[in-house]
Structure 1
């Protein structure tokens, strides 16, 4: 069976989306579902292309046994709309930007992450200007959302 291809998108691809990518991959691995998924992340902006995730995201992941330090920031590409089955924006602003960039017929792939994963119409807040506590809260929010997302994707691939 062809894996479900999931792309997480935030503004700069250094805080939220790389952590979401790491969390989903780790949870899928724990549940024996890694081969059923292809996961990546990107930013709508180009400020951090080639850079590692924010050190606070790396530390939050590491505290939970996940290593995201090898990831590198990248900007969303036009072909992402073709290459991914599901494009999950971390907040409503990301979703608006994604839908504005989506070619005809691809906007249906774009969803607000928490809404798609768990039915909560809620943004994942950007912790960039916050401290370590905000990154731990981000991790907890992403872990809960990714757990729900795995259940939903499991139903989709069954």
Structure 2
């Protein structure tokens, strides 16, 4: 099993949407039993996914209704094969929590061969969430070949 952890700030918007989208990609590729996807936040309490994130994912045929945010833990980082953050700031925070694991920590954009961060839609309109989900989907598709290659090496 190849374990991927997606990380954002509060684990109510970006990382749960990314986890749902990546889980769907893996399932459609017949890799649901090979790739395990999880998400967490660097400053998360126990909150449900935001209403807008739930709505946008429902429109995409995915479900965040049972998602509750989770605080990122060292154990989670240690058990991960790949850690994908939404921003450079998240990457630095995760690297600070997990010295010696920097070889498996990337921003989603980096893994996709692009620059920039995935902007936080928190508190924004449903359109902003939809645009965020679209950006995440595009980055995941661009990174998919690398993810499959990494998973195949495990």
- Scaled to the shorter chain, the TM-score interval is over 0.9
| 1:53 positional shift | 0.6
Taking the aligned partners of 2:108 and 2:13, their CA distance within structure 1 comes to 15
RMSD over equivalenced CA pairs, Å:
1.3
The equivalent position to 1:23 in structure 2, one of 21, 24, 34, is 21
Rounded Cα–Cα distance in structure 2 between residues aligned with 1:122 and 1:35? 31
How big is the shift at 1:100? 1.1
Segments of structure 2 that go 5 or more residues without pairing to the other structure are none
Q: Distance in 2 between matches of 1:124 and 1:89?
A: 9
**Whole-angstrom CA distance in 2 between matches of 1:11 and 1:30:** 28
Aligned length: 152
Shift of 1:42: 0.3
Q: For 1:28 and 1:149, how far apart are their aligned partners in 2?
A: 12
> What aligned pairs does 1:64-83 form with structure 2 within 5 A after superposition?
64-83=60-79
What is the TM-score with the length of structure 1 in the denominator? 0.91
Q: For the residues of structure 1 that align with 2:123 and 2:68, how far apart are their CA atoms?
A: 20
Report the 3-state secondary structure (helix = DSSP H, G, I; strand = E; otherwise coil) of the residue aligned with 1:143: helix
